């Protein structure tokens, strides 16, 4: 069964360093989402892509976060510089499109020291 792949699974970085996460959605899924899940909370959407275009990045802290999906397939989420408050699980999800089920990856757990 096809799954959403994410790497790395765990990342420890120091404050002020740059960090990047990668997501490979299920083949054929046009819509890709990045969520942030702080410990003890539900996931919150950071950015949504439709193919290679951003359709919602209203909750993305654009001074330090960036996201791209250059060829409309895999995606990278970057944080520069990382801050202590960025420690969280970063989840990627994909779907065929509007009103389709979202499938989640295993996530990347980020710890900023």
Partner 1 sequence: AQTVTQSQPEMSVQEAETVTLSCTYDTSESDYYLFWYKQPPSRQMILVIRQEAYKQQNATENRFSVNFQKAAKSFSLKISDSQLGDAAMYFCAYRRYQGGSEKLVFGKGTKLTVNP
Give me the 44-83 binding string for partner 1, x by CB under 8 A, dash otherwise.
xx--x-x----xx-x-------------------------
C-beta neighbour count of 108 within 10 angstroms: 22
C-beta neighbour count of 66 within 10 angstroms: 16
C-beta neighbour count of 79 within 10 angstroms: 21
Give the up-direction half-sphere exposure of residue 77: CA atoms within 13 A in the CB hemisphere.
32
- Radius of gyration for the chain, computed over Cα atoms and rounded to the nearest angstrom: 13
Give me the 89-108 binding string for partner 1, x by CB under 8 A, dash otherwise.
--x------xx-xx-xxxx-
Residue 4 interacting with partner 1 (CB under 8 A): yes
Judged by CB under 8 A, how many residues of this single chain contact partner 1? 24
**C-beta of 70: minimal distance to partner 1 in Å?**
20
Q: Report whether 76 contacts 27 (CB < 8 A).
A: no
- Binding residues for partner 1, rule: CB under 8 A, are 3-4, 31, 33, 40-45, 48, 50, 55-56, 58, 91, 98-99, 101-102, 104-107
């Amino acid at each position: 069964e096809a799954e959403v792949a994410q790497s790395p699974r765990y990342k420890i970085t120091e404050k002020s360093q740059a960090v990047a996460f990668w997501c490979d959605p299920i083949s054929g899924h046009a819509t890709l989402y990045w969520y942030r899940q702080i410990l003890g909370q539900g996931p919150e959407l950071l950015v949504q892509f439709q193919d290679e275009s951003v359709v919602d990045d209203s909750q993305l802290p654009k001074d330090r976060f960036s996201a791209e999906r250059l060829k409309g397939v895999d995606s990278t989420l970057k944080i520069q510089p990382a801050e202590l408050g960025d420690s969280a699980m970063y989840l990627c999800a994909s779907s065929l499109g509007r009103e389709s089920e979202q499938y989640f990856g295993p996530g990347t757990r980020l710890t900023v020291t």
